[in-house]
Amino acid sequence: MTGSSFPAPLVERLREAVGPQHVSTSNLDTGRYPRGRGSSPPPPPGAPPSDVAVVWPGAATEIQKVLRAAAEHGVPVIAVGTGSLGLAHAPLGKGGERGRILLDLKRMTNVLHLDATSLLCHVQAGATLGQLEERLDRDALTVGDMPAESYRSTIGGLLAGRAPGRATSRLGPLESACLGVSAVLADGRLVHDRIAPRKAAGPDLSRLLVGSEGAFGIITAATLRIHRRPEVRHFASWAMGGVDEALGALRAALRQEVRPSIARVYDPELAASTFEPLAPRGKTLVIACCAGAREMAQAERSILEDAFGRAGGVPLGEDAALLFWNRRLEQVRGQRAGDEDAALFPVAAALGRLMPVYQSVKSSLRALGADAAAAFGRFHADGGCVFFELPADPRLEAAAREAAVGAGGRPADEVFADDRARPYLRQLKTILDPTGILNPGRMVD
Amino acid sequence: MAPAPKESTRGTDLSRELAALLSPERVSVAPADRVSYARDAWPRTLIAIGHGVVAPHPPDVVAWPETAEEVAAIVKLAERRRVPIVPYGAGSGVAGGALPIHAGIVVDMKRMNRMLALDESELSATFEAGMNGEHLEHELNRRGYTLGHFPSSIMCSTFGGWLAARSAGQLSTKYGKIEDMALSLEVVTGRGEIVTTGEAPRGAPGPDLTQVFIGSEGTLGIITKGTVRVWPLAERRILGGWEFPRVAAGCEAIRRVLQRGLRPAVVRLYDELDTLVHKFGGDDEAPDRETMLERELAALALPARRRSTAERGLEALKKGLFRRLLANDLPLKLGLLNRAIDAVVPHVSGGCLLIMGFEGARAMTEAEAAMARTELARAGGKDLGEGPGLRWWEHRYKISWKQPRMFKNGAFVDTMEVATTWDRLLDLYAAVRAACEPHAIVLAHFSHAYQEGCSIYFSFAGAGGDLEDAQRRYDALWSAALDAVTRVGATISHHHGVGVSKSTYMQAEHGEAMGIYRALKQVFDPSGILNPGKMGLP
């Protein structure tokens, strides 16, 4: 640690808090977290340790001690799970010049209580959704079919950095399944939600912590609604004349209260590149999976068949849907690199705006001599997501972004938009975090 | 009878300024208005009224704004004058949330009563906060839609009141509570600024302020407008009744149905005593809370089960027997009475009645209802056909309109809706009953069931001598009940809210997280003028 610009007395305090082996200022450790857009560049090889410390707490009580020490020294704390939000080295607001503590929660992965009677799971925030799913699988339980990319993220990260498009048609976004959280506030206070269905005892205070990217408190554990493993899964796919017909038919089925666990619409270009040779040339491809209780899944499949049939869809059997499912499983298990959506530009929109967003982005790119292919998914009651495959060109991406927003879409990486509420949140931050140590620069600045 | 409240100097001054902001006819310091707004439906104030206290908590002045801008202007005035301001919908709250306990300005939202938009492609609608619940549903129905929100108070509650108190409708198992329906809100903060929450699609980054204002009961802001998700009107509705030998068996059956992923609209399981009360109710009349309790007492006081006997019992109760029975009873005797009920009632009632119903799109509704029937039979339920379900449906809004009659007799009735997860549900039921038995007659039904747990709706009946004695007994009952609730780890409210009645239990409910609520209060209401003295806040 010699030569680190990180305050030595604070390093001592951190070691006392979590044990010496769980603190590091080495560039090898601090440099392992992904650097998002705008992050500081990695130090060159052989450079002295930077002003960053990594701390691996093992319990909420240790996080309390870390935050108290950090507050005394005025050093910012950034909670990181797998680091996929790219916050570890992101620019900080006021206080950033004093270095930073990366609070890595990967030691906190325990299932604290599994309540198979109420179908609830109290799990520490450092567990990835994949780890939790593995644990639940032993008891024939599941968190449900979430998007593949979510399984590699930690529960804490998924809740703190909720992002549009992480929802599923059956279960909605993960925070809908969250009955409450435990969190440590900046002054070291540990808060717990009382776990009960649909409380009416005042505001839902945990909604300030969920989505706040660690700016109001650090989520240490969550209680999530879980499910029994589906009794059956019915897979199906259809070739449709166009994207519009496919979205219209899916919408009609959703209005019939069908909740497919997977529903995706691929435009002809993306269908060809993703499902060749299963996708008929020039056709829009729909894949779906109905999962759950036997009779219900059967009823849902019949409604989907009816809806797509009426819209001129040609049934293609289950092959394309099974291919998607198997790739997804490989991604979830880490046997397949990346997620097919990871390289795509996701835009969330209300159901009725998906088509205008799609058309607007395509025409804006065509005007610049390019084009975009797209898939639609993550449909839920309030909307869905369109994933664009864009050419790697910042100019085109900017054009796509502008077109998407203009048509009523919201790019997934856009943060908080309610400008009139922002001053209130800023003031709230100064009360809850007077020394400004919790992820300064995020959410309210 | 106590005299009507005297006009206050503060009220006169405020009314002048308010008249300039609104118009003179939308501001009042008239005794009749101040008496009208001196109460809501909190039974503790009804006890006082029953004992001749005409106006328990009169405001200084009442104002009727018509726009968010007018609300903002009133708030700014109140902030400048450091005067409490209490938003008021239809006054049906049973927790004292709309009581002007520190006087000040009551802002009646009922003139803000319009449906502003219906987006049929997005299935959402926007309403002003003061819109009456039944009118709101009617407006949607005319256009082929429903909100799916049917509190029994629907005819005497407002949209804003629902949002402010996290209201639940009788079909909450399918449609969710009001917080599940809300997409965005317009709120006037304690600084007199108009803020809109939740304009981004659900799931967008950032804290969800919509869920912070919902349930804040006017302590953080005054909700002036809200956008909610709506549903197409149900194509099909299937209702049924089942009988289970015991509460535990009925609860287990409900849990199985919900955890298979079924979405019944309504689920109501009545405990043995509550079931008995239903049996005493004639087909022509659904029992309201008061009648239920009267009949239950009749059943206890008179051994025969014949209807004519029950009717004679009722006559006796109306003459004051009920009050004497309860008021003169020592807690020990009341405990014995409750234990006698436990011993006798199961034999008389024949078990517990479950009402379950499905509605919505035709195919899924029929599929799910058929599955539920199989599941309930497998769990030991005896199918009673659609009769009990239809009867409940026809009388679902028959709430206690005549409640004051009972309070005039010196007795009181009240209800407590608490909730917990399935693993603690029967513990909660037993703990609350044991805690309350020395203080009141207790009956309960289980409604608002979800995959992870359920709410229990307890009804109490008690009585006291003079006002002081009655309120002392009432307070002792509530302390015993809420102590038991928090001890089990359940929530103190599922849908009535907190108001004054549960205010002192907010700390037990939230623990250190009350610090976050206090910080929110400081930010959104720095002068502390918004509905002070409620919700565990100063």
Read off the pLDDT of residues B294-336 as tens digits, 9 standing for 90 and up.
555 554 443 334 444 445 544 544 445 555 555 555 455 677 7
**Hunting for tokens 């009267």 — which residue is that?**
B294
pLDDT of residue B322: 52
pLDDT of residue A442: 74
Tokens of B372: 């539920």
Does position B279 have pLDDT exceeding 70, yes or no? no
Q: Does A405 touch chain B (CB under 8 A)?
A: no
- Which of B146, B188, B212, B518 is most worth mutating to test chain A (most A CB atoms within 10 A of its CB)? B212
Band (A65; pLDDT cuts 50, 70, 90): very high
The model's pLDDT over A239-259, given as tens digits with 9 standing for 90+, comes to 999 999 999 999 999 989 999
pLDDT of residue B509: 97
Does position A161 have pLDDT exceeding 50, yes or no? yes
Cα gap B231→B69, rounded to integer Å = 31
Question: Which of A216, A225, A382 is the closest to B451 by Cβ?
Answer: A225
The model's pLDDT over A351-403, given as tens digits with 9 standing for 90+, comes to 889 999 999 999 999 999 999 999 999 887 667 889 999 888 889 999 999 99
Per-residue pLDDT averaged across A214-227, rounded?
Answer: 96
Does position B400 have pLDDT exceeding 70, yes or no? no
Angle at CA of residue B196, ends A210 and A194, nearest 5° = 30
Per-residue pLDDT averaged across B208-234, rounded?
Answer: 96
Amino acid of residue A284: T
Band (A147; pLDDT cuts 50, 70, 90): confident
- Under an 8 A CB cutoff, do A211 and B207 touch? yes
Q: Does A290 touch chain B (CB under 8 A)?
A: no
Q: Which residue has the higher pLDDT, B184 or B339?
A: B184
Per-residue pLDDT averaged across B336-347, rounded?
Answer: 74
Q: Which residue has the higher pLDDT, B63 or B202?
A: B63
Does position A3 have pLDDT exceeding 60, yes or no? no
Report the range out of A25-29, B144-148, B302-306, B309-313 with the highest average pLDDT: B144-148
Cα gap A295→A268, rounded to integer Å = 33
Peptide bond into B205 cis (omega under 30): no
Band (A32; pLDDT cuts 50, 70, 90): confident
Amino acid of residue B49: I
Cα gap A286→A271, rounded to integer Å = 9
The model's pLDDT over B420-429, given as tens digits with 9 standing for 90+, comes to 999 999 999 9
Q: Mean pLDDT check: name the lowest of A2-16, A413-427, B97-111, B480-494.
A: A413-427
Compute the 3-state secondary structure of chain A and give helix, strand, coil in percent, each to the nearest 5. 35, 25, 40
pLDDT of residue A276: 85
Question: Which of A201, A300, A303 is the closest to B498 by Cβ?
Answer: A201
Q: Mean pLDDT check: name the lowest of A237-251, A336-350, B431-445.
A: A336-350
Tokens of B455: 């709410």
The model's pLDDT over B39-52, given as tens digits with 9 standing for 90+, comes to 999 999 989 988 88
Burial of B21 (0-12, 13-18, 19+ CB in 10 A): middle
Cα gap B503→A233, rounded to integer Å = 48
Per-residue pLDDT averaged across B153-169, rounded?
Answer: 97
pLDDT of residue A331: 82
Band (A133; pLDDT cuts 50, 70, 90): very high
Pairing of strands B266-270, B352-360: antiparallel
pLDDT of residue B415: 94
Tokens of B137: 């549903």
Q: How far is A251 from chain B (nearest CA, A)?
A: 10
Q: Mean pLDDT check: name the lowest of A382-396, B225-239, B253-267, B391-405.
A: B391-405
Per-residue pLDDT averaged across A30-43, rounded?
Answer: 82
Per-residue pLDDT averaged across B493-521, rounded?
Answer: 97
Q: For chain A, state the CA radius of gyration.
A: 23
Q: Mean pLDDT check: name the lowest of A71-80, B227-236, B405-414.
A: B405-414
Average pLDDT of chain B is: 88
Per-residue pLDDT averaged across B367-375, rounded?
Answer: 97
Question: Which of B203, B510, B511 is the closest to A166 by Cβ?
Answer: B203
Q: Please report, rounded to a whole number, the percentage of residues in chain B having pLDDT higher than 90.
A: 72
- Under an 8 A CB cutoff, do B168 and A225 touch? no
Q: Does B214 touch chain A (CB under 8 A)?
A: yes
Q: Mean pLDDT check: name the lowest of A304-313, A321-330, A402-411, B401-410.
A: B401-410
> In B91-219, which residue ranges form alpha helices assigned H by DSSP?
133-142, 159-165, 172-175, 178-181, 209-213
Per-residue pLDDT averaged across B506-525, rounded?
Answer: 97
Per-residue pLDDT averaged across B200-209, rounded?
Answer: 65
H/E/C letters for each residue in B451-514?
CCEEEEEEEEEEECCCHHHHHHHHHHHHHHHHHHHHHHCCECCCCCCCCCCCHHHHHHHHHHHH
pTM reported for the whole predicted model: 0.93
Q: How far is B82 from chain A (nearest CA, A)?
A: 21
**Hunting for tokens 């050419």 — which residue is that?**
A391
Report the range out of A136-140, B120-124, B342-346 with the highest average pLDDT: A136-140
Nearest C-alpha neighbor of B496 from the set B82, B64, B58, B178 = B178
Interface of B with A in 436-495 (CB under 8 A): 448, 450-455, 489-495
**CB-defined contacts A:B, below 8 A:** 283
Does position A24 have pLDDT exceeding 50, yes or no? yes
Per-residue pLDDT averaged across B364-380, rounded?
Answer: 97
The model's pLDDT over B117-142, given as tens digits with 9 standing for 90+, comes to 999 888 899 999 999 999 999 999 99
Write out chain B residues lying below 8 Å of A425, CB-based. Answer: 207
Band (B17; pLDDT cuts 50, 70, 90): very high
pLDDT of residue B190: 98
Average pLDDT of chain A is: 89
Q: Does A119 touch chain B (CB under 8 A)?
A: yes
Band (A150; pLDDT cuts 50, 70, 90): confident
Interface of A with B in 47-106 (CB under 8 A): none
Per-residue pLDDT averaged across A55-79, rounded?
Answer: 96
- Which of B94, B202, B502 is most worth mutating to test chain A (most A CB atoms within 10 A of its CB)? B202
Does position A1 have pLDDT exceeding 90, yes or no? no
pLDDT of residue B35: 95
**How many helices (H) and strands (E) are present in chain B, helices listed first?**
22, 18
Does position B181 have pLDDT exceeding 70, yes or no? yes
Interface of B with A in 251-290 (CB under 8 A): 255, 259-263
Q: Which residue has the higher pLDDT, A264 or B7?
A: A264
Q: How far is B67 from chain A (nearest CA, A)?
A: 19
The enclosing H or E element of B345 equals helix B331-349
pLDDT of residue A124: 98
- Under an 8 A CB cutoff, do A418 and B206 touch? yes
Q: Which residue has the higher pLDDT, A291 or B412?
A: A291
Cα gap A338→A332, rounded to integer Å = 9
pLDDT of residue B287: 45
Per-residue pLDDT averaged across B381-406, rounded?
Answer: 80
Q: Does A303 touch chain B (CB under 8 A)?
A: yes
Q: What is the DSSP letter of A6?
A: S
- Under an 8 A CB cutoff, do B423 and A173 touch? no
Compute the 3-state secondary structure of chain B and give helix, strand, coil in percent, each to the nearest 5. 45, 20, 35
pLDDT of residue B4: 66
Buried b (16+ CB within 10 A) or exposed e, B484-500: bbbebebbbbbbbbbbb
- Under an 8 A CB cutoff, do A417 and B206 touch? yes
Q: Which residue has the higher pLDDT, B112 or B300?
A: B112
Q: Please report, rounded to a whole number, the percentage of residues in chain A having pLDDT higher than 70.
A: 92
Does position B171 have pLDDT exceeding 80, yes or no? yes
Per-residue pLDDT averaged across B459-466, rounded?
Answer: 86
Does position A148 have pLDDT exceeding 60, yes or no? yes
